[in-house]
Structure 1
């Protein structure tokens, strides 16, 4: 993959400093010298050369090989957006994001690996930027190479990459807008479960929500995470007495739904190469549509 920039009026003196400012790590710079290429106005150069306004800077990223230990899955991939840098897919519920001892052959990584292989892309490695719990559906972001992955991780750390979730919870949530800031820690009774933990072991967690729809026995809420604790949405809403429908781990009932009612509906980010805003939406799956609009019974 070739990445190109035009040097602006406010620029560092040397090419090396310019590339570092664009997010090129020292490790990648060293790799480019051996396996890739660095050009200034189409001429291969060293990173110690000076640059001027209007110069064209190009890097040729070295290829990334496929991890042969990742099994290729023949299951379908629902692509929401794709370009030379990013791949955004709609993850169905019940499919794990990444391989584990319990889920080796058909995770989203396996499906994306197969797609990349079928397309015969220059970069064959899979880079997961955002992941979802196995029973959570919705938008999931992959980077096409390690450089783009690093740029997206920077957006995650700076919280300029936003994910908006839709949750269907038990009961009528009040007030209709709120911010939950209960610290979250591990349960001593389970390696999976998380709890609200006010001790020093609890980590800060911030969840913002807006109630969008209310039924007799349920509420539909939009949720934004300001931190990324494990099971954060599920733990916070269970703590205020409104567990997600179908979330039996945190007290939700299973009568209306056999998985927790959580969907990552939209992703907003700045494109890593152009800086242009991207807004990607995954429609609610059928099971949540049915839950919201056709069920008004008590669990």
Structure 2
């Protein structure tokens, strides 16, 4: 059981426990309800507390997070762990591994986490804070408890590295909306504002060889296939992304990697910066472009 402790600051003097939990602790209504059902789930100064109790400066509020009832069914798959603590698990996902199993494809990140739990003896549900496509590589953050998941949602700054076809220089932003392409269920397309979901991609060119450009991309929104659709709409599809018009001669999948992230730890408040190494096929493409020291380039971006 994960136990969290908070000290009531002067700004919350004489505030009800409910207000402190929802405000200072950023507790979701759903988790608050769950904690109320756990014997001793919410305590003040070591005693069981009701949410209407008045707090005072210096009080110690303790939350005993309920254990997850079910872990994912185990399906072995390679798992590269780049960071782990009591609340977070960060994976550098390989290409070809979907987030969830689907017909004809049993291997998944979810199943790999089930195997990991079985091996380590830990017990936590599969809670990805965000998703990346099956053939996109890179960092995926998993929350080991509901509190961490709620705090991190929408609060992670990610940098994606992409190689697009053609030459792009400088920096810019793409603001085209995105919708499901008519007649399709998976494929997306860029569209006019109001005809789809708002999507914003900020990009900066890092290197090019005239044929391809290495880009650093940051997202304001997280739409399905957002980076792939946005650059395809400009006539610069990602290398290897034949789903959106890219050529597979140099790499057999979309050249897209979530390689860097910054976040504030949901419990300790510590600022974390995590780097995910590039896969071999991506590094080989960059080598053909004449790009050297890619990890250094990414770390200094």
Whether TM-score is above 0.5 comes out as yes
Q: Tell me, what secondary structure is at the counterpart of 1:35?
A: coil
Equivalent residue for 1:52? Answer: 56
The answer to whether the aligner puts 1:282 opposite 2:285 as a matched pair is no
Q: Structure 2: 5+ residue runs without aligned partners?
A: 291-301
- The alignment's TM-score, normalised by the length of structure 1, stands at 0.91
Q: Structure 1: 5+ residue runs without aligned partners?
A: none
1:20–1:26: 8 Å Cα contact kept in structure 2?
yes
**1:75, distance to aligned residue in structure 2 (A):** 2.1
Equivalent residue for 2:295? Answer: none
Of 168, 171, 176 in structure 1, the residue corresponding to residue 166 of structure 2 is 171
Q: Tell me, what secondary structure is at the counterpart of 2:10?
A: coil
CA RMSD of aligned residues (A): 1.6
- The alignment's TM-score, normalised by the length of structure 2, stands at 0.90
Of 208, 215, 224 in structure 2, the residue corresponding to residue 214 of structure 1 is 208
**1:30, distance to aligned residue in structure 2 (A):** 2.9
The CA distance in 2 between the partners of 1:102 and 1:150, in whole Å, is 32
Count residues with an aligned counterpart. Answer: 286
**1:86, distance to aligned residue in structure 2 (A):** 0.6
With over 3 angstroms needed to count, the CA separation of the structure-2 counterparts of 1:199 and 1:50, relative to structure 1, is: closer
1:99-138, CA deviations, whole angstroms, 9 ceiling, x for partnerless residues? 23343x31111111221232222x4322111111001000
Which aligned pairs between 1:1-299 and structure 2 lie closer than 5 A? Answer: 1-11=2-12, 13-21=15-23, 22-36=25-39, 37-67=41-71, 70-103=72-105, 105-121=106-122, 123-153=123-153, 156=154, 160-174=155-169, 176-198=170-192, 200-295=194-289
The CA distance in 2 between the partners of 1:30 and 1:190, in whole Å, is 40
1:126–1:145: 8 Å Cα contact kept in structure 2?
no
With over 3 angstroms needed to count, the CA separation of the structure-2 counterparts of 1:111 and 1:192, relative to structure 1, is: same
The CA distance in 1 between the partners of 2:244 and 2:202, in whole Å, is 19
The CA distance in 2 between the partners of 1:167 and 1:238, in whole Å, is 12
Q: Tell me, what secondary structure is at the counterpart of 1:28?
A: helix
With over 3 angstroms needed to count, the CA separation of the structure-2 counterparts of 1:202 and 1:26, relative to structure 1, is: closer
The CA distance in 2 between the partners of 1:27 and 1:251, in whole Å, is 43
2:128–2:143: 8 Å Cα contact kept in structure 1?
yes
The CA distance in 1 between the partners of 2:84 and 2:259, in whole Å, is 17
